[in-house]
Structure formats: C-alpha cells, structure tokens
Amino acid sequence: MAAVRPLLSTAGLVVVYYLLPMNRPLTGSAFALLAVGLVVVIGVVVWQVRAILRSAHPAAQGVQALAVIIPLFLLVFASVYYLMARDLPGSFSEPLTRTDALYFTVTVFATVGFGDIVALTEAARIVVTTQMLGDLLVLGVLLRVILDAVQRRRQDRT
C-alpha cells in the first residue's frame, strides 16, 4: 500500500493537468504565471516537510512528498510552455499540445534534449533556463531537505 499512494498522487496530478481549463488567453506574462506556480510548489514543499516531521512513518511520507513535489514542479513548467506556445506563437519550434509540453518539460528535466522541440524566443528561453536551474535545485536541495526531515523525525522518535 505504501507504493500505491505515491503512484496515485502522481497520476492524480497528471490527470488534473489534462483537465485544467487552460482555454483562456494568457493574461499578463508567462513569467507571472511561472512565479505563482513556483510559489505554490514552495508552499507544498513546506507543507510536506512539516508532514514528514509529524509522521509516524517518515520515510514513506518522504517518498510521498517527492511523488507530489517533483511532478507538481514539472507540471507547472508544462503548463507555462503550453500556454506560451498557444498564446505566443513562435515561442517554440512547433505548436505544443499539453502532451508535447509535458514531453518537452520531462526532456529538459532529464537533460536528454532530443532537439525536436526548441525554445525560439527570448521569453521561452528564459523560462527553459529557469526550469534547468530549478531542476538542479530540485535534484540537490529538495532531496537533501526531504532526507534531512526524514532523518530528523527518526531521531526524534528514538
């Protein structure tokens, strides 16, 4: 059962991404949307760390935290890429569907970079660069914070 919850959380976030009504034009800037999304991610990180520190099963809660935070982080960028491609034509080398935007986000995260989709405008390149830097933070800092919280909770219980 411990493995099911993280999988369901990740799947649920992806379903929400596909069901979100993103049919309105991008008002304001993509940077503002990205900033709001990243603030939400930071809020979820804080909430998850607190949950780990109160959990009877901190390791399982740590896995759950990663299963929520990493997909949420990626889906924020996928949403921004999708809206930029739709409302700011020419931002990318081709129009992006939601699936294309998610695919592009994951290829950037995994540092695969096939080159089939490329950011063309300065704004798109800034968002992609922000994701690249954020990916490094997620892989380094986030993992460290989660592991420290799990270890701290285990020490508090002994």
Q: Report the chain's terminal Cα–Cα distance, integer Å.
A: 25
**CATH assignment at residue 123:** 1.10.287.70
pLDDT in tens, 138-150: 889 998 999 899 8
Domain-embedded: residue 25: no
Residues 36-95 pLDDT 10s: 999 999 999 999 999 999 999 999 999 999 999 999 999 999 999 999 999 999 999 999
pLDDT at 5: 87
Secondary element (H or E) of residue 77: helix 58-87
Q: Would residue 147 count as lying in a domain?
A: yes
User: Is 68 inside a domain boundary?
Assistant: yes
